[in-house]
Chains A and B, each alone.
Chain A
Amino acid sequence: MGSSALSHLRICDLTGQLAGAGATKILGAFGAQVIRVEDPVAGGLWDILRSLGPYVDDRRGRNLGGGFNNHNVEKLGITLNLRTERGKELFRRLVAVSDAVTENFAAGVLARRGFSYEELRAIKREIVYVSNCGFGHVGPYNRFKSWGPVAQAVCGLTFSSGLPDMPPAGWGYSYMDHAGAYFMAIAVLAAIFHRNRTGEGQWVDLSCTEAGATLNGPAMLDYTVNRRPLRRDGMPNSNRSQFGEMVPHGIYPARGEDRWVAIACRDDADWRALSELLQEPWASSPRYATLAARRDAEDVIDRQLSAWTREREASAIASLLQSRRVPASVVQRPGERIDEDPNTRAWGLWPVVKHSEMGEVRVEGLPLHLSETDWEMERGAPCVGEHNELVYGEILGITRAEMEELEKEGTI
């Protein structure tokens, strides 16, 4: 059962939300044993997604959050009160048999519980400790709290999405929680590789704002080399190509309410193919044959092209352009890309997992397949304390009587 790729790894996982839980989800899908450690006092609700919708039915509660289930498939869940001495002792035992400790609390929270990197290292010398927060654990803003929309705004990604003379459009979701989670998964894997080669563990201080700031590289070099800031008149205009390298390039209206089609002419050949399709005098004119000429006339071209696309179905436009090898796609709604797009279905992108209370639920799979040791998702997210018996009993060797006592005193 389950993927075998990382089945030799055990992660002591204190993450939550998406920026953290999204990382260990990937490791878990590839077979790492991810043990989610949650606070019994708060009923696991430090991770607010536990109880937030969407919901599968009318029931509500801390085990029924749809987002939580999506981000925590294939993990084991235990409760452990790290405020108490016995709780701390159990945590030490868990760290001692783990390869990595992962968390995305505000900076300093875990250290205040008595588990700084130095303390973790004293428990297990080669432990890998990856912390992930908005601003990192070091630096003037290290006490600043954060969440996705904050991280992506501070690092520049919100600003670089929008239309001229308008407020930033940004990202209509926590893009940097996803990207932060991806960087976090990379951090764990790279540090484990390094440990395997050298026998050395380490602390990795991941700052989501810093990670996000690396995702706009050429624009930043345009500033450091050419002193040309992105904050200038007419910028951004982000459906267009960023540096004028493709024209036309944009998102154009199609027939119907809120229907749109994306079109990108990569080069002069794409433009010729498009203009042959359009069969309109303005487009056939040789004056737009070169990129430089199209760039000068981009407003006019966009207006003319919009007038043509507006009369047609988005999917018809996309197929027509694809038939001439011009990149184009419908701006797909969630229902279209999930239930109607043959590509996501054929990929197996929406596996069904079994959740102890929610039943069978579709979740997001992963966009990569490994030919020998692929990912698998079968088990839904853990309910609060669902795997206490398994983890405390089988992994830490605690007797049933002891467990009952721990439960009674509120340690687990």
Chain B
Amino acid sequence: MSGNASQTQRPRGALEGLRVVELTSEAAALAGKLLADMGAEVIVVEPPSGSILRSRPPFAEDIEDRERSLTWWHYNTSKLGVTLDLDTEADRERFRNLIRVADIVLESEPPGRMADLGLDYANLRELKSDLVMVSVTPFGRGGPRRDEVATDLTVLAAGGPVWSSGYDDHSLPPIRGWGNQGYNIASLYAVMGTLIAILVRDERGVGQHVDVNMHAAANVTTEQATYTWLVARQTVQRQTGRHAETNPTMPTQVQCSDGFWVNTGVPPRVRSEFIAVHDWLRELGLLGEFSDRILLELGMDRERLDLSKLGEDVEIQAIFGAGREAMTLIASRLPSYEYFMGAHKRGMPVAIIYSPEEVFEDPHFKARGFPTPVEHPELGKSIPYPGAPIRFEGSPWRIRGRAPQLGEHNELVFESLAATSALRT
């Protein structure tokens, strides 16, 4: 089927022609969504009682209902939905029939479960020799901790991101950020693994099994915390809203006059930047009260600061610090958006710290078409969703439809499957 794409008017998605069978799960749902929004045909298989994601809050209008979970909605756009009870032989056979016409099977069952069902890679490749199977598990399929139970929180705690995040005050716990980032990271690797395996299959005709380890994924997503240990056996310590470091660094977050927080980003490093900040202070009438003015002017005398000497060269340290202080003073006196725009206008990369939903109201995100309307016919309305994470200019990313209702595509999928099998035999 995949080699026989139909001719349509609209441009094709990057992954059009691929068929994915996804066993619904929390950890791999994003992988399925990414593949689907990039054009693959993704059939998500739920138990007859519905995916666990359907029980996850929040719910539309706070009405607890398996068709109203916003978590289900978000992670299952563009997918076809079928129900199968894999504990029955009849439905396992239906599942096998799906596999026979699939390119990829994506799953995040507990290790051992697929084997117990007789649906592990060794079984499934008998049905389709070049099948790509992608398994996402908390600790990998074969590792010593494979049987531990885990959630996003415990994986991120075991894997390093939590150790590095939190506050200067270490009597407060280290912090795990929201958004199920442990699952997200694993899903991103699952997509990479899927695509690499598919490129290999297309080139050489061999399928394979991709084993994605969430704990390992967290371990290699902590930037310098990991390589500072690997290279120098030193341990970074968490700091409020900025990089965990082996030696303390200056605060970077400032509360603006409107109460929003900003990050002062990369402070001035080259002459033109020191001049720009100096000018900005003057324009705002703040030069007089800025106590490190002389250091700032020393920065204006140098072509650039050699940041590799930070921590060794006292003068560089002081000048660099004065630049940060100047940005901090300005931020504390301006409303956040004015500070953000003013700094960027002067070439300084700073950040406004948005709450996630505020992105929808920002002119840049709007201009790029990030908020993406998705039709919900049952509710008689269209709802803005987060849009393309990757903007493909030649093979558009696209949400092809809202998440499926429970069993919505049973008939379509199993009937066309019957027709396909008939054609193929």
Q: Are B160 and A332 in contact (CB under 8 A)?
A: yes
In the complex formed, the residue of B with least CB distance to A225 is: B60
Residue of A nearest to B13 (CB): A194
Question: Which of B156, B175, B357 makes the CB contact (< 8 A) with A229?
Answer: B357
B208 touches A193 (CB 8 A): no
Q: Which residues of B contact A398 (CB under 8 A)?
A: none
B143 touches A251 (CB 8 A): no
* Given A141-B364, A173-B225, A226-B61, A220-B15 contact (CB < 8 Å): no
Q: Is the CB of A342 within 8 A of B265?
A: no
**Chain B residues closer than 8 Å to A326, beta-carbon distance:** 149
Once the chains are docked, how many angstroms separate the CA of A223 from the CA of B89? Answer: 43
Is B320's beta carbon under 8 Å from chain A?
A: no
Among A252-260, A386-394, A399-407, the stretch that binds chain B is A252-260
User: Is A245 part of the contact surface with B, judged by Cβ < 8 Å?
Assistant: yes
Chain A residue total in the interface (Cβ 8 A): 159
Which chain A residues lie closer than 8 Å to B156 at the CB level? 262
Interface stretch of the complex, out of A79-87, A277-285, A362-370: A362-370
Interface pair B175/A338, CB less than 8 Å apart: no
B contact face: mostly helix, strand, loop, or mixed: mixed
CB 8 Å contact bits of B228-244 with A (1 = contact, 0 = none):
11111111101111111
| 25 A-B contact pairs sorted by A residue (CB < 8 Å) | A136-B391, A139-B368, A141-B364, A173-B164, A173-B165, A186-B195, A190-B390, A190-B395, A194-B392, A214-B389, A219-B356, A222-B58, A223-B357, A238-B177, A242-B178, A249-B153, A250-B173, A253-B173, A326-B149, A329-B154, A333-B235, A334-B226, A343-B216, A367-B215, A370-B208
- Chain B interface residue count: which class? 35 or more
Known contacts A201-B394, A364-B230, A373-B208: A343-B181 contact under CB 8 Å: no
Q: Which of B41-49, B185-193, B275-283, B406-414 contacts A (4 or more CB under 8 A)?
A: B185-193
**Pick the contact of B56 from A226, A245, A372 — CB < 8 Å?**
A245
Pair B393/A205 contact, Cβ less than 8 Å: yes
Provided the pairs A262-B162, A264-B153, A337-B219 are in contact, do residues A221 and B383 lie with their beta carbons within 8 angstroms?
yes
Please give the distance in Å from B246's CB to the nearest CB on chain A. 8
Minimum CB–CB distance for B168 against chain A, Å: 10
B175 & A162 in contact (Cβ 8 Å cutoff): yes
The answer, yes or no, to whether B378 is at the interface (CB within 8 Å) is no
Structural contact, B351 and A153, CB atoms closer than 8 A: yes
Stretch at the interface among B93-101, B112-120, B286-294, B342-350: B342-350
Structural contact, B354 and A155, CB atoms closer than 8 A: yes
Q: Give Cα A48 to B304, complex, Å.
A: 13
Q: A10 to B153, alpha carbons, bound, how many Å?
A: 38
**Is the CB of A67 closer than 8 A to any CB of chain B?**
yes
Proximity bits, B174-217, A CB within 8 Å = 1, else 0? 11111111001110111111011111101100111111111111
Instruction: Assess the B356–A60 pair: CB atoms within 8 A.
Output: no
B197: chain A residues at CB < 8 Å are: 5, 370, 373
Query: Distance (Å) between the CB of A178 and the closest chain B CB?
Result: 5
**Segment with Cβ contacts to A, from B71-79, B295-303, B322-330, B416-424:** B71-79
CB within 8 Å for A251 and B176 given contacts A172-B239, A368-B210: yes
**Complex contact A327–B210 (CB within 8 A):** no
* B162 → A minimal CB distance (Å): 5
From B175, B188, B234, A239 is in contact (CB under 8 Å) with: B175
| B222 close to A (CB within 8 Å) | yes
Which of B166, B352, B384 has the most chain A CB atoms closer than 10 A to its own CB? B166
